[in-house]
Amino acid sequence: MMAKCLTLLLYIALVWCCFNNTSAYCLANETDRLALISFKGSIDQDPLGALSSWNDSLHYCDWKGITCGHRHRDRVIQLNLGSQGLVGSLSPHIGNLSFLRSIFLENNSFHGPIPQEIGRLFHLQTLYLNNNSFGGEIPKNLSSCSKLKALKLIVNHLTGSIPGELGSLAKLEALALSINDLSGTIPLSLTNLSSLSIFNLAYCNLHGEIPVEISRLQGLTFVQLAANNLSGKIPSGLLNISTINFLSVAFNKLHGSISSDTSPSILTLPNLQFVYLNFNQFTGTIPTSLLNASGLQEIFLAGNSFTGLMPKELGKLSRLQIICFALNQLQDDFSFISSITNCTSLQLIQLDQNLLRGVACSMESPRDRMQIQAVVSGIRKIKDVYENHALSQSHHIENIVKHEGEGIEG
Ligand SMILES: *[C@@H]1O[C@H](CO)[C@@H](O)[C@H](O)[C@H]1NC(C)=O
Ligand SMILES: *[C@@H]1O[C@H](CO)[C@@H](O)[C@H](O)[C@H]1NC(C)=O
Ligand SMILES: *[C@@H]1O[C@H](CO)[C@@H](O)[C@H](O)[C@H]1NC(C)=O
Ligand SMILES: *[C@@H]1O[C@H](CO)[C@@H](O)[C@H](O)[C@H]1NC(C)=O
Ligand SMILES: *[C@@H]1O[C@H](CO)[C@@H](O)[C@H](O)[C@H]1NC(C)=O
Ligand SMILES: *[C@@H]1O[C@H](CO)[C@@H](O)[C@H](O)[C@H]1NC(C)=O
Ligand SMILES: *[C@@H]1O[C@H](CO)[C@@H](O)[C@H](O)[C@H]1NC(C)=O
Ligand SMILES: *[C@@H]1O[C@H](CO)[C@@H](O)[C@H](O)[C@H]1NC(C)=O
Ligand SMILES: *[C@@H]1O[C@H](CO)[C@@H](O)[C@H](O)[C@H]1NC(C)=O
Ligand SMILES: *[C@@H]1O[C@H](CO)[C@@H](O)[C@H](O)[C@H]1NC(C)=O
Ligand SMILES: *[C@@H]1O[C@H](CO)[C@@H](O)[C@H](O)[C@H]1NC(C)=O
Ligand SMILES: *[C@@H]1O[C@H](CO)[C@@H](O)[C@H](O)[C@H]1NC(C)=O
């Protein structure tokens, strides 16, 4: 009875408010408004004044960074405050914005945990918290956001292992966790993410093997597992995912051969453009039979124990820009060089520290000088590659680049 009265009173108040038409709270969901006020209350510094429009004289749907719905005009569906220099923590009240579809808070300085309450956002499709200072564990509760398509947490200080619960996010297309202080293994459950296209787990302190079940992810395009402590072999099923265009397992402890007569090889991936297998313990020859990767632009195999001849078939790949085979046990007589004269896009060939015979170029030759130039631009290029794929915390990069440099100068 009491409750009914209250509801009636609220209703009257609401009608009066809308009839009066002067209040900014007309047609406002009080829950959303309070959640946003609490969000603002957890921000310690707002150097660019991003939240200065968040005041009582404007309806919250008109606040900077806020988008409300079309059908539910008073409900917040998007929070878009990337690159605003915000410093603070993320209020757990965010879990009350129950109509939210996207959260863009990347490139700020949020610290503290990612609130468990985000798991109450059943409509959430996009969560970008990359390039902040979030700590604590990745909330298991994210697995309740069953509509989630993109989860980007790259460059933070997240700890603990990757929650296996994330494997239930059937709609997830992008999982990007690179550069965090994680540990543990790649959860097998992630091979259940059948919509996955982007799998970005570089620099996450992961160990163990790449699950062979990864071959179930037949929509993968971007696979970035560099700079972990992964061991074992590359599952041959991974080399059977024809959609892959970027594949990096660089700086791990992977071993085994990447070529055989019976299983597919890297270069049979028809859409491959970038491949980085450098600094592992791979052996065997560089496979070129059944070469399908006609769009290949960069191939890094440096710092392994590959043997056999330089693969002259690479000369058929007209888009090749970088060939980096240094620090292996490859043999050739430099006829390889003439075989790649058709690779007109080539910017860098790096073959030193192999068992090359034949016409060794002296350090003074113009070609060498050109090559050294190319090596320098190659380092920049490598840096770009890592940056482009958000592997960029500067000391990590320097570290990676330094490793590359060892291969180049050593
Ligand atoms: C709207 O409400 C305010 C009090 O909040 C009142 O002063 C004003 O006269 C009202 N306007 C109309 C058009 O009813
Ligand atoms: C009432 O609110 C609507 C929507 O905000 C606005 O377009 C309209 O001008 C307002 N009317 C008055 C009399 O203030
Ligand atoms: C506001 O949103 C909450 C949570 O979705 C809901 O329970 C409440 O009924 C809404 N209030 C109004 C006035 O629509
Ligand atoms: C509220 O924000 C708007 C938009 O930034 C601004 O024009 C207005 O002066 C602010 N009002 C107060 C009371 O701060
Ligand atoms: C965040 O920073 C990255 C790298 O600098 C940039 O590509 C991206 O567009 C930025 N995001 C926003 C919302 O500015
Ligand atoms: C909103 O969220 C906070 C923290 O999760 C909670 O304490 C509060 O009761 C929620 N509801 C409303 C209406 O603000
Ligand atoms: C991180 O954010 C800062 C501040 O917006 C920006 O300068 C930097 O480029 C971003 N870095 C990355 C890797 O996105
Ligand atoms: C975690 O998610 C569940 C399911 O959405 C929700 O019921 C629960 O309240 C969430 N936990 C917290 C701490 O918000
Ligand atoms: C993958 O999904 C199936 C079907 O939902 C489930 O039975 C299985 O346990 C899941 N596997 C893992 C490793 O989570
Ligand atoms: C990598 O794993 C090996 C065991 O496989 C372990 O001995 C070593 O400490 C690990 N290294 C790092 C950097 O975690
Ligand atoms: C690769 O795919 C082919 C055709 O779909 C299949 O017959 C073969 O067993 C697969 N190989 C591996 C190692 O998954
Ligand atoms: C370079 O391309 C031409 C024209 O397609 C071809 O005839 C020649 O054999 C190619 N050379 C090598 C080394 O592949």
pLDDT (tens digit per residue) in 242-277: 999 999 999 999 999 887 656 667 888 999 999 999
The three-class DSSP label of residue 289 is coil
Q: Which residue has the tokens 């564990």?
A: 137
pLDDT band at 15 (very low <50, low <70, confident <90, very high): low
The answer to whether residue 88 sits within a structural domain is yes
Checking if the pLDDT of 403 tops 80, the result is no
Most confident of 152-156, 304-308, 345-349, 405-409: 152-156
Whether 72 maps to a domain, the answer reads yes
Residue whose C-alpha is closest to residue 282's, from 264, 303, 313: 303
What value does the CA radius of gyration of the chain take, rounded to a whole number of Å? 26
9 in Cβ contact with 2 (< 8 Å): no
Q: Please indicate whether residue 141, judged by its CB atom, sits closer than 6 Å to ligand 8.
A: yes
Residue 4 pLDDT greater than 90, yes or no: no
CA pair distance 136, 114, nearest whole angstrom:
7
Residue 44 covered by a domain: yes
Long-range pairs for 368-377: beta carbons < 8 A, 24 or more residues apart: 374/347, 374/348, 374/349, 375/348, 375/350, 375/408, 377/347, 377/348
Q: Is 80 left (phi over 0), alpha (psi -120 to 50) or beta?
A: beta
User: What DSSP string runs through 87-116?
Assistant: EEE--GGGGG-TT--EEE--SSEEEEEPPG
For residue 407, pLDDT over 70 is answered with no
Domain count within the chain: 1
How many C-beta atoms surround the C-beta of residue 363 within 10 A?
A: 8
Q: Is 119 in the pocket of ligand 8 (CB under 6 A)?
A: yes
Cβ 271 vs Cβ 292: under 8 Å: no
Of the candidates 130, 174, 378, the one whose C-alpha atom is nearest the C-alpha of residue 278 is 378
Q: Are 213 and 188 in contact (CB under 8 A)?
A: yes
Lowest mean pLDDT among 17-21, 128-132, 228-232: 17-21
Q: Tell me, what's the pLDDT at 330?
A: 87
What type of residue sits at position 257?
A: S
Confidence of residue 200 (pLDDT cuts 50, 70, 90): very high
| CA dist., res. 396 & res. 58, Å (int) | 44
Mean pLDDT score of the chain, rounded to an integer?
82
User: Could you tell me the distance, in angstroms and rounded to a whole number, from the CA of residue 189 to the centre of ligand 9?
Assistant: 6
Q: How far is the CA of 40 from the centre of ligand 4 (A)?
A: 15
- Residues 285-298 have pLDDT tens digits of 887 766 888 999 99
pLDDT per residue as tens digits for the range 254-263: 999 887 656 6
- Residue scoring higher pLDDT (332 or 162): 162
Give the range with max mean pLDDT: 199-213, 265-279, 318-332.
Answer: 199-213
Q: How far apart are CA 153 and CA 374, in angstroms?
A: 34
Query: In terms of Cα–Cα distance, which of 226, 224, 228, 268 is closest to 246?
Result: 224
Ligand 1 atom with minimal separation from the 19 CA: 14
30 or 140, greater pLDDT? 140
Q: How far is the CA of 110 from the centre of ligand 7 (A)?
A: 13
DSSP 211: P
- The closest residue, in CA terms, to atom 13 on ligand 10 is 229
How far, in Å, CA of 90 to CA of 99, rounded?
18
- For a mutational test of ligand 11's pocket, the pick from 217, 236, 240, i.e. the residue with the most ligand atoms closer than 8 A to its C-beta, is 240
> Residue 396: pLDDT band by 50, 70, 90 thresholds?
very low
**Which of 15, 27, 31, 77 has most ligand 3 atoms within 8 Å of its beta carbon, as the pocket-test mutant?**
31
Instruction: Please indicate, yes or no, if residue 66 is contained in any of the structural domains.
Output: yes
- Return the pLDDT at 383: 39
H-state helical runs in 21-102: 30-41
Counted residue by residue, the chain has a size of 410
Ligand 9 atom closest to Cα of residue 164: 14
Residue 371 domain-assigned (yes or no): no
pTM (two decimals): 0.81
Residue 158 pLDDT > 70: yes
| CATH number for the domain harbouring residue 162 | 3.80.10.10
pLDDT of residue 368: 40
User: Who contacts 42 (Cβ-Cβ below 8 Å, separation ≥6)?
Assistant: 88, 89, 90, 91
Give pLDDT, residue 6. 57
The ligand minimizing its distance to the Cα of 60 is: 4
Q: Does a structural domain hold residue 131? A: yes
| Cβ atoms within 10 Å, residue 182 | 23
Q: What is the mean pLDDT of residues 52-73?
A: 93
CA-CA distance, 19 to 13, in Å (whole number)? 10
* pLDDT for position 385: 39
Whether 64 has a pLDDT exceeding 50, the answer reads yes
Distance CA 328, CA 326 (A): 6
Does residue 46 have a pLDDT over 90?
yes
Cβ–ligand 3 contact at 29 (below 6 Å): yes
Q: Does residue 7 lie in a domain region? A: no
CA nearest ligand 6 atom 6, residue: 93
Q: Would you say residue 382 has pLDDT above 80?
A: no
Higher pLDDT among residues 391 and 103, named by residue = 103
Please list, residue by residue across 293-323, b when 16 or more beta carbons sit within 10 angstroms of its beta carbon and e when fewer do: bebbbbbbbbbbebbeebbebbbbbeebbbb
Starting from the CA of residue 28, give the closest ligand. Answer: 3
- Alpha carbon distance 173, 220 (integer Å): 9
Q: Which domain holds residue 101?
A: 23-205
Which residue's CA is the nearest one to ligand 12's atom 10?
Answer: 342
Structure-model confidence comparison of residues 367 and 337, the more confident one: 337
Please say if the pLDDT value at position 11 is more than 70: no
Residue 344 has a pLDDT of 84
Distance 158 CA to ligand 2 centre (A): 47
Residue at 56 is within a domain: yes
The string of pLDDT tens digits covering residues 166-187 is 999 999 999 999 999 999 999 9
pLDDT at 365 (0 to 100): 39
Residue corresponding to tokens 């039979």? 289
> Who has greater pLDDT, 349 or 129?
129
